[in-house]
Amino acid sequence: MKFDSSFGRISNFYKNLALIVLNTIIVLLVLNWLASGIIDYQNYLRKKADSGKSRYSFKKYEEPLKEMFPNLAKMDIEELLDDTRHISQSFEPYTQFKEKPFTGKSVNVDPRGFRPVKDQGPWPPSPDFINIFVFGGSTTFGYGVPDVDTIPSYLQELLGSKYPGRIKVYNFGRGGYISVQERMLLEKMILRDIVPDIAVFIDGLNDLAHEDDRPAHTKELTKFMDEGEKSPLTKCIVQMPIFKLITGSHTKTEHVQDEDSKRSITDLLRRYKINMEMIQSTSSHFKIKTLFVWQPVPVYKCGHEYNLFSNFDYDGYVPSLKVGYGEMAKVFPSGEFGDNFLWLADVQEGLNKSLYVDAIHYTPYLCRLIAQKIADKLEEQKMIKDVKLNH
């Protein structure tokens, strides 16, 4: 009887404990489900409020897109918008990140790290061709335009028509890249014995956007490393929606530009110039011709009446952009950046048409114009001719 009584007490204790644990799990699941819904709704309201203030891009087909893409049907433009939305990035050693491989109708990313252009060359590049690598950010990659309408693709078309069967251009533009990352990407390829004949660097926007000298995704990677010291239970708790809602961590933004990390515009331009010199030093050793391009942006010498996104909060998004371009315009005429520096900041001045597919990225028309200027500069500096003689 004693045994039965003890077993009964243990059985009742286990049942009660199991019921408490089960109810606790159910309550936690319900609370987290509700918290997740609240967070999603708050994010929706925040995005709606932001989009009401200033639109960044087209979310669906609108008539102005037809003027930007005269050779595309409505269905093709809709597919382009959809392809562009699906481009994402993944981790890459040293450079920190790159676009993930992607296959779409008009937007593609090769698994080997470049975006295809018209008449794409082989990989690895063949010494039978004059190989030109183009580095830059998302404007060089060509966010918002098809593969064949990017700056590197037009450069391939323009130079390819003048030197049939001799030129191969590779698009190494990557969203968010600053000039330091571009240098590292070139150095990585040199270490793998992939050496271009000519390297073109298109910069300006992103170097001024990252005035703290930290590349994009630094916050996420720092958080990942910091959480490596936490226990699995702690990691699980802090990721719960109910925890995020209570602590407000889902609304916190990155504030890395404290007084110690902020740099003056002069320091930013000095960093750019030093990086140029480092690239040229390495490139000279490996007999790579270099061209540095200072790109156009919508806040400098651009007709705002033709910018469909002129209400965008550029000062909030890139606070140093206007001032930085104004300062660069003062420095550029001195010639301190050298003969292999191409100033295209004012290339859009006086052009009475839409030049941006969103608040930042270029239309095919502007991409082709930039490519033409680059092709002209390469010819003016006799870079193609010099490489041709060495082949």
Q: What is the pLDDT of residue 261?
A: 37
Helix 383-390, helix 364-380: angle, nearest 10:
60
346-359 pLDDT, tens digit each: 999 999 999 999 99
Of 11-20, 129-138, 255-264, 348-357, give the lowest mean pLDDT range: 255-264
Q: How confident is the model at residue 230 (pLDDT cuts 50, 70, 90)?
A: low
Helix 321-331, helix 265-285: angle, nearest 10:
60
Q: What is the pLDDT of residue 14?
A: 79
Residue 362 has φ and ψ, to the nearest 5°, of -85, 150
Q: What is the pLDDT of residue 214?
A: 83
Cα–Cα distance, 132 to 110 (Å, whole number): 17
Q: How confident is the model at residue 291 (pLDDT cuts 50, 70, 90)?
A: very high
pLDDT above 60 (res 66): yes
pLDDT above 70 (res 390): no
Q: What is the pLDDT of residue 17?
A: 83
Residues 6+ apart with CB under 8 A from 205: 137, 139, 295, 297, 318, 321, 360
Domain ranges in the chain?
Answer: 64-214+256-390
Cα–Cα distance, 138 to 103 (Å, whole number): 18
How does the average pLDDT of the chain come out, rounded?
A: 88
Q: Which two tokens stand for residue 239?
A: 């990721």
Of 7-11, 82-86, 88-92, give the lowest mean pLDDT range: 7-11
Q: Which two tokens stand for residue 285?
A: 């050793």
SS3 helix, strand, coil % of the chain, rounded to 5? 50, 10, 35
Q: Is 225 exposed, middle or buried (0-12, 13-18, 19+ CB in 10 A)?
A: exposed
Q: How confident is the model at residue 117 (pLDDT cuts 50, 70, 90)?
A: very high
296-315 pLDDT, tens digit each: 999 999 988 889 999 999 99
Q: What is the pLDDT of residue 62?
A: 94
Strand partners, 135: 172, 201
Residue 172's closest CA among 253, 231, 117? Answer: 117
CATH of 64-214+256-390, one of 3.90.550.10, 3.40.50.1110, 2.60.40.290, 3.20.20.70: 3.40.50.1110
Q: Is 232 exposed, middle or buried (0-12, 13-18, 19+ CB in 10 A)?
A: exposed
Q: What is the pLDDT of residue 47?
A: 63
DSSP letter at 192 equals: T
Q: Which two tokens stand for residue 136?
A: 């830059």
Residues 6+ apart with CB under 8 A from 106: 76, 79, 80, 83, 146, 147
Q: How confident is the model at residue 42 (pLDDT cuts 50, 70, 90)?
A: confident
What H or E segment, with its residue span, contains residue 99?
strand 96-99
End-to-end Cα spacing for the chain = 100
Q: What is the pLDDT of residue 210?
A: 85
Q: What is the pLDDT of residue 195?
A: 98
Of 30-44, 80-94, 171-185, give the lowest mean pLDDT range: 30-44
**Which range, 5-14, 106-115, 207-216, has the best average confidence (pLDDT)?**
106-115
362-374 pLDDT, tens digit each: 999 999 999 999 9
Q: What percent of the chain has pLDDT over 90?
A: 65
Of 37-41, 153-157, 252-256, 383-387, give the lowest mean pLDDT range: 252-256
317-344 pLDDT, tens digit each: 888 999 999 999 999 899 999 999 999 9
Q: Are 286 and 195 in contact (CB under 8 A)?
A: yes
